[in-house]
Structure 1
Amino acid sequence: MSLPPLVEPAAELSVDEVRRYSRHLIIPDVAMDGQKRLKNAKVLCVGAGGLGSPALLYLAAAGVGTLGVIDFDTVDESNLQRQIIHGVSDIGKSKAQSAKESIAEINPLVEVVVHDEQLTIDNVMDIFAGYDLIVDGTDNFATRYMVNDAAVLLGKPYVWGSIYRFDGQASVFWAEHGPCYRCLYPVPPPPGMVPSCAEGGVLGVLCASIGSVQVNEAIKLITGIGDPLVGRLMVYDALEMSYRDIKVRKDPNCPLCGEHPTQTALLEDYEDFCGAVSTEAAEAVQGSTITATELKEWQDAGKDFLLVDVREPAEFEIIRIPGSVLIPKGDILSGEALATLPQDKQIVLHCKSGARSAEALAALKAAGFRDAVHVQGGVLAWQAQVDPSLPTY
């Protein structure tokens, strides 16, 4: 069912705006009133990456009057496969600033507010307070829970999206009218259970599919038309070309929006709540970590050890450290690969950045490989510190 329009209409549209938005104005459900509401809306996009790129471009094209962009990252060449708001000339530039410049080319009538900073518990409430609606384009659980909690505490709706390889999800969370993100996912998955897009990859065009759904939902909320995804989870499979609609009910025991809420403020540490790495992994790396430079010194000195790459085969084909053998992390955690590892030489583990190798290291320590170590920073550190000629991904 439709919800009341989120935003009051602006006083009027200029002649230029009437010309620009004419295809909206002739839609009876949008018309002049809906376009005035879009003009008066203030929407914050959290992240100017895979989902944020199409979302920001289409929000701007639709005529949302004020767009906020928060992102503290810089544009990297590997972003260009999917983050279409950035171009080759933007590499090394602030993503938030790059997004602002692209939006100006799409629609100079839109005011863009740049938040070139990291979203934290210290600033999230103040930043969110200035906007009517939040579009969440983040790619990590810690920020997702923080976005949800701040939106609930401020009484604001937000449009959520998630992507991985060929799969996407989208929903609208608005505690006043339905469930929040915690009703759907009360607790984050165990560390390492769900790979990031940087670890598992994502089909570039999937970002457009889910990002456009997010904008569609934002427009519906702002103008009060249609049936928004409140209390529903849209699941998209790009390979099957299928959409599923899953009912999501408000959890009466939700600590944030339930019948008797117990969480009335932001958590102190979302990274700790979501567990960037498990407790076992954090303990395993203590005193069992070497740098990429130290690894190179060990190799040059002829030290006898087995260098094990715990990434996936597709990653191993892109870039590898010389002398490494591939044993995916899953085979180590399951115990399948333990019998193949030598007992008479030291094991050195590495992955892309160090998180997966830390998990694998914990499993090896538990299995009795007491002198095993892992490489801090993984192949990214090797590329940066030892061999810059190698590609990154």
Structure 2
Amino acid sequence: MAGSTFGEQFRITTFGESHGGGVGVVVDGCPPRLELEVADIQIELDRRRPGQSRLVTQRKEDDRVEIFSGIFEGRTLGSSIGMLVRNEDAKPGAYEDMRDLYRPSHADWTTEAKYGIRNWQGGGRASARETIGRVAGGAVARKVIEHVAGIEVLGWVSAVRSINADVDMHLVSRDQVESDPTRCPDVAAAQLMTTAIEAARKDGDSLGGIVTCVARNMAAGLGEPVFDKLDAELARALISLPAAKGVEIGSGFAGTLMTGREHNDPFVPGADGRPTTTSNHSGGIQGGISNGEDLVVRVAFKPTATISSAQQTVNRNNEAKTLEAKGRHDPCVLPRAVPMVEAMVCLVLADHLLRQQSTDVV
């Protein structure tokens, strides 16, 4: 199976399945002598861990990371960093009814159409549990971009269905985001989101929404012209997340309602000797290259495909059937998607920082 590796200079390869022995990642390209402890990885995994609130899947996993290569005495060696998280609460029997049935809008049918075989126990590589490797690798990438360029990456839930949060992206902090199980820093909106998610769960249904992510103290000059534009790389990274269905950068689709005069970001002299802009409709990227302003992305996530409500489907013999899914699933992926989005942004930025360093004239 191809497609499990992401990045060029800073590269991750994820492995494992949701109901196998475990999941993990191999990180290549991390610079040597970077201070890195298990706690730096674990804090991010804890944020995506299942069972952390009643708003997410109740699968009980500690998700304790084991680092088995690439780090010595609290510093990276420059060699491959191998990390593993063992599955401890897998219940494959809950998926017995799905052995011959295809979940609507899940990867069951498409995987079988491609390979002629599939792991029906939890979805295999299509499970959101695969993102453990991304988040672990993203935690290493976060250390790289903080150390090399002082870049801060922060995400939050900005919408659940039609409930929209009012958040000042220049002032919002991680403490505010983490203060509520929804990971929405707007208290009033978070309460409405909680009510809506709980209602969907009780009704055997699910909800989608939007995660917004910013990268502050951005470096200018990241990204390559044409096919490796920074916004193109971000879009590819983020749309690869499970349940992601759309990516906006800066003004996104709203920019189509503006004129050029309204949308252009005027330049003014900056305090540090480089130009700055009076607005940021570009989302920090112009011509596929970062301009030093805050990078702003939004990711749309569909409602979770696996729900307990009765749904029309077919079996392997193409016979009409009804499916009522069992197992433990997120009624809304948004609260746990925040660290996943942050991880992918960190991975792209770390890769392009190292690519830029390799081309800088000494």
Q: Given the two structures, how large is their TM-score scaled by the length of structure 2? A: 0.22
With CA pairs under 8 Å and 6+ residues apart, which has the higher RCO, 1 or 2?
A: 2
Where is the strand percentage greater, Structure 1 or Structure 2?
Answer: 2
Q: Given the two structures, how large is their TM-score scaled by the length of structure 1? A: 0.21
Q: Which has the larger radius of gyration?
A: 1
